[in-house]
């Protein structure tokens, strides 16, 4: 298998030298749960399913949050490697906090510790473009996409699609062969409304129409038979409520503790080592909460790095950890959330792929999202980044069966 893949890569490299670099448009619909497209009328998602490959679901990395998972999709790396341990976290070496709402940290390359696909492409002479993908605003390893947009949620979805089509109509010398496109729905609706509600279904139908516009635009291009479309999401969504709250400070004395995050997961650092004994005893008796000392965090989470705290707390599906000083009847949480154990099925997202490199009518089992990076590298004919010690954790063998016979 390894010999065959090396032979295929050589053929692809020769093809690139004579001007045959294929195209990949990778699209993310934030918070699109694995089963949303099965709940309502989605003819364009169905088209991709019938004319390409679809996964039963795609499992996120831990934590099942937006920034960690979009960067895992882009790098093929787990959280332990790329270092984005949440949408917001404190780095013990930098002695600073990273936050998705802080443009200065988002645009600073020091926070991104793995190489994203657009940097891999640009290093090897393949032009890339990004429309709001996590990490693309920072010059990682000194490289940025040839075309990029700083995040602005007010830009309409139609305008984003129009831009992608326009980029693919540029002269060949400046045309991107890799495009990363991001939409922030149905995540927003899933948080604000019950993920099981008809309002989420309505939003899914709208997103299906956006996907349809993109497919139609791509199909109209002279290079349509060279375009591969990969559609993913970063995570799913599960219902939560005020009736399922875990009030930490009703169970433990938070004095001299450092508590980071709340919601589906939280972390705790103790200021003095002797605090651990009493703290652990109290934590493990809290209902609906999994408690992991740092040295006992499950390996499958791939979460331990320099920023991992003394304790990781993970709520049961649908429960919410609250760490505020005051917890009263007026405390309100959203109707849906994510960030739970990646094995919780409601945390799973979607994966579709279609195009000349992809077999048609193929359904595959659930897989982890880190395996998307090597797939895109293979389609583009580029070598995954770095020497062996820096190689991504993603494995091409996982998605190899969806490639056309001529590509395998």
Residues 172 and 232 in one domain: yes
Residues 145-172, mean pLDDT to the nearest whole number: 97
Pairing of strands 178-183, 227-232: unpaired
The continuous run of DSSP H or E covering 338 comes out as none
Number of domains in the chain: 2
Residue 8 and residue 77 share a domain:
yes
Within-domain flag for 219: yes
Q: Are 386 and 117 in contact (CB under 8 A)?
A: no
Are both 159 and 265 inside the same structural domain? no
Range of the domain at 304: 245-333
Q: Is the same domain home to 225 and 307?
A: no
pLDDT averaged over every residue in the chain: 91
Do 82 and 153 fall into the same domain?
A: yes
The rounded distance, in Å, linking the Cα atoms of 134 and 137 is 8
Residue 229 located in a structural domain? yes
Task: Give a yes or no: residue 338 inside a domain.
Answer: no
Q: What are 181-217's pLDDT values in tens digits? A: 999 999 999 999 999 999 999 999 999 999 999 999 9
Q: Rounded CA gap, 86 and 243, in Å?
A: 25
pLDDT at res. 297: 98
165 C-beta neighbours (distance < 10 Å), count: 17
Residues known to be catalytic: 66
One domain, residues 121 and 161: yes
The pLDDT, as a whole number, for residue 277 is 82
Q: Is residue 8 pLDDT above 60, yes or no?
A: no
Cα dihedral 68/73/77/82 (nearest 10): -40
The pLDDT value given to residue 332: 65
pLDDT at 331: 55
Residues 56 and 80 in one domain: yes
Residue 11: what pLDDT?
42
| pLDDT value for 4 | 42
Q: Say whether pLDDT at 74 is over 70.
A: yes
In a domain, 123, yes or no: yes
163, 181: one domain: yes
Q: Which of 289, 314, 333 is the last residue of a domain?
A: 333
Distance, in Å, from the CA atom of 16 to the CA atom of 37, rounded to the nearest integer, reads 36
Residue 85: CATH number of its domain:
3.40.720.10
* Whether pLDDT at 44 is above 60: yes
In whole angstroms, what is the distance from residue 115 CA to residue 134 CA? 12
Classify residue 101: in a domain, yes or no.
Answer: yes
What is the Cα–Cα distance from 278 to 273, expressed in whole angstroms? 11
Residue entry with tokens 């190899």: 400
Query: Could you give the C-alpha distances from 33 to 94, 181, 270, 335, 352, in angstroms and in order?
Result: 35, 18, 36, 15, 13
Share of the chain above pLDDT 90, in %: 84
> Is 290 among the domain residues?
yes
State whether 271 and 213 are in the same domain. no
Q: Which of 343, 152, 337, 368 lies closest to 261 in space, CA to CA?
A: 337
With respect to residue 373, please indicate whether it lies within any of the assigned structural domains: yes
Q: Mean pLDDT over residues 139-159, rounded?
A: 96
* 338-368 pLDDT, tens digit each: 999 999 999 999 999 999 999 999 999 999 9
Which of 113, 60, 115 has its CA nearest to residue 305? 113
CB 131 within 8 A of CB 125: no
- In this structure, is residue 72 part of a structural domain? yes
DSSP state of 316: P
Same domain, 228 and 148: yes
Give the span between the Cα atoms of 33 and 320, in whole angstroms: 19
CATH number at residue 300: 3.30.1360.180
Report whether pLDDT(286) > 80. Answer: yes
Do 18 and 120 sit in the same domain of this protein?
yes
Residues 6 or more apart whose CB falls under 8 angstroms from that of 4 comprise 408
Q: Last residue of some domain: 300, 333, 366? A: 333
- Residues 123 and 262 grouped into a single domain: no
pLDDT for 388 equals 53
Q: Which of 313, 333, 353 is the last residue of a domain?
A: 333
Predicted TM-score (pTM) of the model is 0.92
């Amino acid at each position: 298998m390894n010999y065959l893949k090396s032979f295929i890569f050589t053929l692809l490299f020769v093809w690139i030298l004579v001007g045959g670099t294929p195209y990949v448009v990778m699209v993310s619909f934030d918070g699109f749960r694995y089963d949303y497209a099965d709940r309502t009328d989605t003819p364009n998602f169905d088209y991709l399913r019938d004319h390409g490959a679809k996964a039963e679901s795609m499992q996120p990395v831990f934590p099942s949050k937006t920034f960690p998972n979009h960067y895992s999709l882009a790098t093929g790396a787990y959280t332990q490697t790329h270092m984005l341990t949440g949408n917001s976290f404190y780095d013990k070496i930098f002695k600073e906090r990273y936050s998705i709402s802080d443009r200065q940290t988002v645009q600073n390359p020091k926070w991104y510790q793995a190489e994203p696909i657009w940097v891999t492409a640009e290093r090897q002479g393949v032009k890339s473009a990004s429309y709001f993908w996590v990490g693309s605003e920072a010059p990682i390893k000194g490289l940025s996409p040839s075309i990029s947009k700083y995040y602005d949620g007010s830009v309409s979805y139609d305008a984003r699609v129009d831009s992608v089509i326009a980029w693919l109509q540029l002269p060949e010398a400046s045309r991107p062969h890799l495009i990363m496109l991001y939409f922030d729905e149905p995540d927003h609706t899933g948080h604000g409304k019950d993920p099981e509600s008809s309002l989420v279904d309505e939003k899914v139908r709208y997103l299906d129409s956006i996907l349809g516009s993109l497919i139609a635009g791509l199909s109209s291009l002279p290079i349509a038979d060279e375009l591969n479309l990969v559609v993913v999401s970063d995570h799913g969504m599960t219902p939560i409520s005020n009736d399922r709250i875990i009030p930490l400070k009703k169970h433990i004395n938070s004095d001299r503790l450092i508590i980071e995050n709340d919601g589906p997961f939280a972390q705790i650092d103790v200021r003095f080592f002797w605090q651990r004994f009493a703290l652990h005893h109290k934590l493990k008796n809290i209902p609906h909460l999994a408690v992991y000392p740092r040295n006992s965090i499950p390996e499958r989470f791939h979460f331990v790095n320099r920023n991992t705290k003394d304790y990781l707390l993970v709520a049961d599906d649908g429960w919410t950890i609250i760490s505020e000083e005051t917890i009263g009847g007026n405390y309100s949480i959203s109707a849906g959330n994510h960030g739970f154990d990646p094995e919780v099925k409601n945390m799973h997202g979607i994966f579709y792929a279609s195009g000349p490199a992809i077999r048609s009518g193929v359904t595959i089992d659930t897989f982890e999202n880190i395996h998307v990076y090597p797939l895109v590298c293979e389609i583009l004919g580029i070598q995954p980044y770095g020497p062996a010690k820096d190689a991504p954790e993603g494995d091409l063998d996982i998605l190899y069966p969806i490639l056309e016979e001529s590509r395998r």
